[in-house]
Structure 1
Amino acid sequence: MPDSPTIVVVDDAPEVRLLVKTQLRLSGRLEVVGEGADGYAAVELARAHRPALMLLDVSMPGRDGLAALPLVLDASPTTRVVMFSGFDQAGLADHTRRLGASAFVQKSVPIEQLVDQLVAISAPPGGQPDDAIGGHPVEPATEQVDRSHGHPELDPVLAEHLERFREIFDDAAIGMATMTLDGRVVRVNRHLAGLLGDDADALIGTSYADLAADPAPVADALQSLRDGGSAVRLEHGLADEHGRRFAATLSAVLDAQDRPLYFLLQAQDVTEQRAAEAELHETEQRFRLLVEAVQDYAIFMLDPEGRVASWNAGAQRLKGYTADDIVGRSFRVFYPPDKQAERHPEHELAIARREGRYEEEGWRVRKDGTRFWAHVLITAVHDADGVLVGFAKVTRDSTERRRILELQQQANERLRRSAAEQAEFLAVTAHELRSPVGVLAATAETLAQHHERLTVREREDLAEGMRRTADQLRRLLDDLLTASRADARSLGLHPEPLRLEEQLRAVVSAARGGHPGAEVLLDVEEGLVVQADPGRLAQMVDNLVGNALTHGRSPVVVSARADGDSAVIAVRDSGPGVPAEVRDRLFERFATTGGTGLGLYIVRALAEAHGGQASYQVEDQSFVLRLPRERA
């Protein structure tokens, strides 16, 4: 295509690059001269080829499209850059226009329309104008999805679910935003925009770290996520005149290969809460000093050496000593042996002597040897000449209060985890569905319309891509449906006697076909029969084999042996095994990264529904499935 305009395609997903390149070649109207997977490659390709056009993804690892865009234009000022994104925030398109982009196109646009738009945008001055394609107007840098009609190229049911996810995101009672891998905001809900006191579109493209009074902790949290860390929770001040504080949770949304696609932010304004906590602390302190005579408090005097000089009724009730028992003895007797050995009582008096007071919470010991959680206040007492005459000591039993606070904290943590899991689940599910369905539809369309014009290699690559994508969708839908039924305890199993060798051979064969080049071996004791639902058995073993191929290394060995009344199926890969820190959570929902995080949770739920067990065996680093055995 010597007379065709040149174009460079930059996207971190190889399937997307393949599809776009193929369609561009078939069109015969644009010549692809290079491709890349991140913003660094975009800049180098622009400098090397100076293409007429560049299709640039917004969110990519290393350097995202927003950061790369100005650098691409510096390297090749004549290149027209079209931003390519799965995000549909209107403000994002406007922001890329201000950075110099010629157009903004969503990834949900049909592939044929994408080619038409790229051709129109590449038209030289005096040729076809940028704002018309075949007589139909186009708005570069503002192409948006029709929110009332969803995505026309998607199944209506899927489009409805995606729209509901947007509504949940936009109407959430906490602040939420999605960010590129460089930490720039690309979508923000109404609640967060209100907390930040700005218009949602005005926040697009803003670095979240720049909103913090101290950007360093936010930058460190983002880097931790880029390095593969789990969700990061932090509290930070805002760079505004009100001195407000945010409690934020940052997490990465991953693709099926455990690569971060973008970051999800959840934030709450805790300014008033922190002020209330500080005020409550001050009020409690004043209250304690005013009720010295109340029997619910142990209030007594110490001499300058720490010996008990006076004793009240509250002290006797709380600690069990009478005045005759304790007056004249060191107050060290109230402390556990380890604190006495550390000379902690003397340390308290030294601080009170130096600073005027000392306050803490900790374990104390009664006369009968039982312990209680105490809130302690020690105040230095001076005479009119400023000479230290002793210490006033106020002790309160806070055991019940501590227990209630611990229970409240545990309940709050469970609620927070549940909310975070559901938010992450919605985000991951929406992404997991959108990308494969879009690629599958576009690839099928390409094969249907241009089968004869495609090369053999292109047809094979596109067909293999469709197979992998369809398998990904099948797994996702199976996992979602099974997890839902497991939670509702309505799996509806239909167990029957099954020859284990035949069942496992079918699973292993499918795994080999789905992972070309992977070595999956089978070692089954002859004649083994189990009592199981055939479909659910295949699903359990398929999940374990898929987990081994995804997170471990080939070869993977699937073995089965009889053990009393059970048949033991083991799946072992050749990788380093599961890290010790995550073994206890392996079979929990969302405990693993990649996909929906439901695979191992489903295996255990199905195994227990069959009257069996699923576990991880550290000795040989294998996942073990134990099912009831059918004896001859």
Structure 2
Amino acid sequence: MEQSERLAASLSEEGRYRLLVEAVVDYAIYMLDPAGIVTSWNPGAERVKGYAASEIIGQHFSRFYTEEDRAAGLPAKALETARTEGKFESENWRVRKDGSRFWAYVVIDPIRAPDGGIVGFAKVTRDLTERRDAQLVLERTREALVQSQKMDALGQLTGGIAHDFNNLLMAVLGSLELMRKRLPDDPKLLALHENAVKGAERGRALTNRMLAFARRKEAVAEAVSVPALVRGMTELIQRSLGPAYDIELRFPLVDRPVLSDANQLEMALLNLVVNARDAMYDGGRIVIALREEAVTGPDDRRLQPGSYLCLSVSDTGIGMDEETLRRAVEPFFTTKGIGKGTGLGLSMVHGIAERSGGRFMLRSRAGEGTVAELWLPAADRAALDEEARPAPQPSAPAGLVVLAVDDDPLVLTNTVAMLEDMGHAALAAESGAEALDLLRRTSGIDVVVTDQAMPHMTGLQLAAEIARHWPDLPVLLATGYMPDPDGVPLDLPVLEKPFTEADLAARLGALVPPRSERLISFAGRVRRG
């Protein structure tokens, strides 16, 4: 007979069971008496829970539960479930000897005498902490991927809508600007005109928010003095708030600038202030504060090491519960009534902070107000002084021949009217192919102003063709929606839609230096083959 067989034959059934239990080190296996007192303890239990057999035998098994679970009576409920239902099974937190917690899978089975009475319980515990942590990481990664895909889809949708809005606003604002020069000095007509302009400007502000959310609006990083920016906005902010709200500014004496886009920073601050106002129904005080802080290592804000300025907006309003706070920066999520909020404000602020190399953080509790913090990287004071020097404005050239290209007839008509009002000769093309055909058949064109988002041939593609065949002909890209702002060549100037006549004149002045004499008339210079 083999040695193993002789050993098995020599052991009683109880001995074989004990040998098996003692060999298991990945599971805590132990026995309880009917009251829950530990009566046996295997090496796996010592490995999982940290107690030696001499420390735990004779103790109640409830000591492995967390304080809150003991207070809720869960140990007694577990034994009662095993007694009445024949088995107890669960996953929950348990406590080791050193006080640390681990995620445990627990099974309790009743041990019955021949007459059916309960003589004790067999308890098996497995440490699933690593598996649970891995599962949580997987779930968070999956959720982040889904959220990223959703945000990308929303960004594409929002950017496309903003493009169409920009074209409409371009036609409306441009026409209103030209109309103003021709209106009689009738107060009623001028008041209506001003009201129409204000409405269109509100539409432009909404479009800018949509573009900032979609990350399709070109940001110009520059050194910005936050105190100067806020003080310059104080009147606008106060008008936006109304007389029932007070503004308190808390700024340090050292005026160190931040590195950000000034226009987008203004928009972000205005959004935060308006949100603070809406959280205080009966008026109150809004505190706008600024502080500088050096980040030296990893922290909960996920900021890279360096110097930062924190621009915060605090209110004493209704605050947010945990669920609202968690969703606050989601696009289109709003707690305001219908027509009172787009749900894009905080997501836009979040996007501005991220693009600036900073972070946007919210702290709030229901009934205790909200603190919104915009963390932005600090810039050198010398950079601010350099920005403060006024750049020389190029003088607008006169008598240019300009080819305007846009697939939207409203915008194209408006651009041509602006050019003619400035004293230029304008040619029009509704596509890139038509523009190239005009260039082949027409001499004397000084500059091309083209839209970007056109079917079949984009503005960038048209600019590349012009550079290939007419390398000395300047091209101005006019767009309100750039799918990939980083893909624009550095030497290609961009004019943001909707633009004014002054904006267009300044860009043309930078592109085409003024000529002292133009000896050839428009009609003579524009020759068609």
TM-score, L = length of structure 1:
0.38
TM-score, L = length of structure 2:
0.44
Q: State which structure, 1 or 2, has the greater radius of gyration over its C-alpha atoms.
A: 2
Q: Using CA pairs below 8 Å that are at least 6 residues apart, which structure has the higher relative contact order?
A: 2
